[in-house]
Each structure stands twice: as structure tokens, then as C-alpha cells.
Amino acid sequence: MQKNIRNFAIVAHIDHGKSTLADRFLQMCGAVDERTFRNQMLDSMDLEREHGITIRSHPVTLSYQDYTLNLIDTPGHCDFSYEVEKSLAATDGVILLVDATQGVQAQTITNLNLAQRLNLLIIPAINKIDLPNAQVETARRELMEILPVFENEIYLVSAKTGQGVPELLAGVVEKIPPPEGDSKKNLSSLVFDARHNPYLGVDLYLMVREGRVKKGDRVILMGGDISSEVMEAGIFKPQMEPAPFLEAGMVGFVTLNIKDFSREFIGDTLTHQNQPAEKPLPGYRKLKQFVFCGFYPADGESFPVLKDSLARLHLSDPSFSYTEERSAALGVGFRAGFLGMLHMEIVQERL
């Protein structure tokens, strides 16, 4: 039932414990068994484990008592703020996490502003209270300066030991409102992420606002007027698992047989082809790139491979831009723009 759904994200400055807190939530809700569990469970990319940071947002559907919780773990580094922004559009509230040893930091403020701009309910929490150098009272005062909350409304947790985590999860259920929307209306769903599917085409991550979608439905993307049949529909457990349908209030994915990656899917509205939504949902703002570099293949024959790789990468990360350019010395290649130096480094490694 829709009233028993809670859609929320964890946001914080880098290294304040978002992924560890997500691990505790997964364990509390029985989403993973102890045999398959590993730290930073939702950090599925090898690069994330290598660098020790979250690079991509990761959704997961949890069962807690009689409730369905759709959690999104988000990056903390400022170069990946676009990942946070697109994830928050699929939620109704956030846990704003602050490290007790560091207090409120720059990205704490940035994420708070993003959540406030989307009118999301904000649950403040102080993490790492088990550390000897924790300054809980200082962190609490700093939170009270940036948020209109009372002292007893700030949750004190240790994601590492699990202290205070059950109370925080109960607070999510109690305070974050259920999603709005009517499953009987025409389908209207926001695409908040996309992945290349090597077998079927493209996996689109959806927040369903109105209506219902299932395997076999004929759907259309309103921004590019592209139609396709739904090859699969499902939820994240945390791996992709098929589901009979997705309806209003649910977060999940659909797989479409689309092979053209030259356009952006993220921020588009998915609806039924024969009964479309009246108007598309608000998308995402265009970001400004600050760091630029050139990508050139080692030889001319590798250019199509580089072009295809960039298109697939841009499918899931439209925050970087690339345009074709020619150099007298290096030949044909691409000029690419990024949100920061770390963003550029990660894209280069992913290529």
C-alpha cells in the first residue's frame, strides 16, 4: 500500500559515514545475509572500493515491519553533487548526516540546500558518536544553527557499532511522508538514472509518480519521443530483481530495447504510448563544467571504440560533456568537460 512506502536518501559530506549507515539499514531489514554481506555493500563499482568513496548513487528497496523503504545512498564529494541532485528528486525526505568529529562541513550545507529547494523533509543525525574525539555537543549546536530543529530532534548514532540506528530508522518511518500519486491515473514517471544493458539495451531507474507500468507495456520517453516495449520491470534488492509491476510511489527500473545512446535519458518522463501523461515532469538543471581535457585514441582505428565508450558513459553520467575536435598533431578526438579534477580522473579510469 502506498501509505506504507517511504522514499528517502542519506546525504552528507564525504567520509561522514553514509555508506556504513546504509550497511546497518540493510542488515537490520534483512536485505542481505551475513554470508554475502561486505562493508560498503551498495558501493558496487571497483573504483568506489579502490578510492574508498561513493561515486554513484545506489537505490535499494528494504522491508521494515509493514513498510517498504526505498533508500538511496549518495556520494559525498562535491564533484559528484549531480548524483545527489538527481537522486533527491526520487525521494520525499533525507537523513542529513554529520560526523561528530568534524561537524558541519561545506558539502553538508550544499546537500541541505538541495533538499530544501525540493521541499524534502530533513532528519538531522550525528554519526560516529562512539569515537573518543567525538564532539557531539559542538556538532549538535552547528546543526541547530543551519536547521530549525530542537536538540531532542537530532538523532545520535554510530553507524559502525549500530548504536542509535534502530531509533533513526523508526524516525524515518514516523517522520517522512508517504509518496503522493494515484496508481489509477495515466503513467508518469521520472527517469533519475540510466545504465547500459549489454544484452537488452538500457536500464532506466524510475520514480513512479502516477499510474502503473509492467513488462510488455508500450512506453514512450516524452523528451525525445522515443518509444519501446518494456522488456523487464523490477526493484533493487539491492541487485535488480523482476517485479510484477511498478506503481505510484515505487522506485524501481525498467529495461527498454533502445540501442541509441546519443541522447540523454536522465530527467526525462516515461509514460504509456497509448495513454500518455498530460505533461512531462520537471527535469534537472544543466550543470556547468569547470575542468576540461582532450581524449584522443592511440590510433585512428580506435576512434569508433572511444566514441561508443563515451556515449555509454554519458548515458549514466550526463554531468560531463564531450564534443568532437581535431588536432593537427593528434588527429580526431574529443574535448570533454567535468565538474572537477576528481570527476575527470574517475571518468578517465572508467573509460
Q: Per-residue pLDDT tens for 104-163?
A: 998 999 999 999 999 999 999 999 999 999 999 999 999 999 999 999 999 999 999 999
The DSSP annotation for 4-73 comes to GEEEEEEEESTTSSHHHHHHHHHHHTTSS-TTT--SSTT--SHHHHHHTS--S-EEEEEEETTEEEEEEE
Cα torsion for 183, 188, 194, 200, to the nearest 10°?
70
Residues 195 and 151 in one domain: no
Q: What pLDDT score does 49 carry?
A: 54
Q: Which domain holds residue 11?
A: 2-175
Amino acid at 99: D
Rounded Cα distance, 50 and 34, in Å = 23
Residues 36 and 80 in one domain: yes
Cα torsion for 262, 51, 296, 336, to the nearest 10°?
50
Query: Is residue 181 domain-resident?
Result: no
Phi, psi of 49, deg, nearest 5: -75, -35
Copy the grid coordinates of residue 9. Answer: 536518501
Residues 87 and 139 in one domain: yes
Residues 169 and 243 in one domain: no
Instruction: Specify the 3-state DSSP secondary structure of 88.
Output: helix
Q: What is the pLDDT of residues 223-258, one digit of tens each?
A: 877 899 999 999 998 889 999 999 999 999 999 998
Residues 34 and 168 in one domain: yes
Rounded Cα distance, 341 and 289, in Å = 11
CA angle at 74 for the pair 142 and 244, rounded to the nearest 5°? 135
Rounded Cα distance, 22 and 20, in Å = 5
Q: Which CA distances in Å does 312 have to 177, 189, 285, 309?
A: 36, 22, 21, 5
Q: What pLDDT score does 327 carry?
A: 82
Q: What pLDDT score does 71 carry?
A: 93
Query: Is residue 102 domain-resident?
Result: yes
17-21, 130-134, 164-168, 229-233: least confident range: 17-21
Q: What is the pLDDT of residues 196-231, one digit of tens each?
A: 888 899 999 999 999 999 999 999 999 877 899 999
Residues 13 and 156 in one domain: yes
Cβ neighbors of 149 (< 8 A, separation 6 or more) are 124, 143
Residues 169 and 192 in one domain: no
**Whether pLDDT at 42 is above 70:** no
Q: What pLDDT score does 248 carry?
A: 95
Residues 13 and 149 in one domain: yes
Rounded Cα distance, 190 and 252, in Å = 11
Among 119, 142, 175, give the residue marking a domain's end: 175
CATH number at residue 24: 3.40.50.300
CATH number at residue 335: 3.30.70.870
**Whether pLDDT at 351 is above 60:** yes
Q: What pLDDT score does 48 carry?
A: 54
Among 117, 147, 175, give the residue marking a domain's end: 175
Rounded Cα distance, 41 and 333, in Å = 37
- Across the chain, what does the average pLDDT equal? 88
Residues 202 and 322 in one domain: no
Instruction: Specify the 3-state DSSP secondary structure of 141.
Output: helix
Query: Is residue 201 domain-resident?
Result: yes
Q: In the predicted model, what is the mean pLDDT of residues 3-18?
A: 91
Query: Is residue 182 domain-resident?
Result: no
Are 157 and 170 within 8 A, CB to CB?
no
23-32, 179-188, 196-205, 244-253: least confident range: 23-32
Instruction: Specify the 3-state DSSP secondary structure of 146.
Output: helix
Q: What pLDDT score does 10 carry?
A: 92
Could you count the other beta carbons within 10 Å of the beta carbon of residue 263? 15
64-68, 215-219, 282-286: least confident range: 282-286
**Whether pLDDT at 79 is above 80:** no
Rounded Cα distance, 147 and 140, in Å = 10
Residues 118 and 256 in one domain: no
Q: In the predicted model, what is the mean pLDDT of residues 84-113?
A: 93
Q: In the predicted model, what is the mean pLDDT of residues 261-280?
A: 89
Q: Could you give the number of structural domains in the chain?
A: 3
Are 74 and 18 within 8 A, CB to CB?
yes
Q: What pLDDT score does 223 carry?
A: 84
Q: pTM value?
A: 0.88
Residues 23 and 138 in one domain: yes
Choose between 197 and 41: higher pLDDT.
197
Residues 133 and 25 in one domain: yes
Among 115, 149, 175, give the residue marking a domain's end: 175
Query: Is residue 86 domain-resident?
Result: yes
Rounded Cα distance, 203 and 205, in Å = 7
Q: How confident is the model at residue 76 (pLDDT cuts 50, 70, 90)?
A: low
Query: Is residue 284 domain-resident?
Result: no
Amino acid at 14: I
Query: Is residue 237 domain-resident?
Result: yes
Query: Is residue 46 domain-resident?
Result: yes
Are 324 and 332 within 8 A, CB to CB?
yes
Q: In the predicted model, what is the mean pLDDT of residues 46-62?
A: 71
**Closest Cα to residue 60, out of 52, 72, 48?**
72
Choose between 241 and 304: higher pLDDT.
241
**Whether pLDDT at 45 is above 70:** no
Rounded Cα distance, 268 and 329, in Å = 39
**Whether pLDDT at 40 is above 70:** no
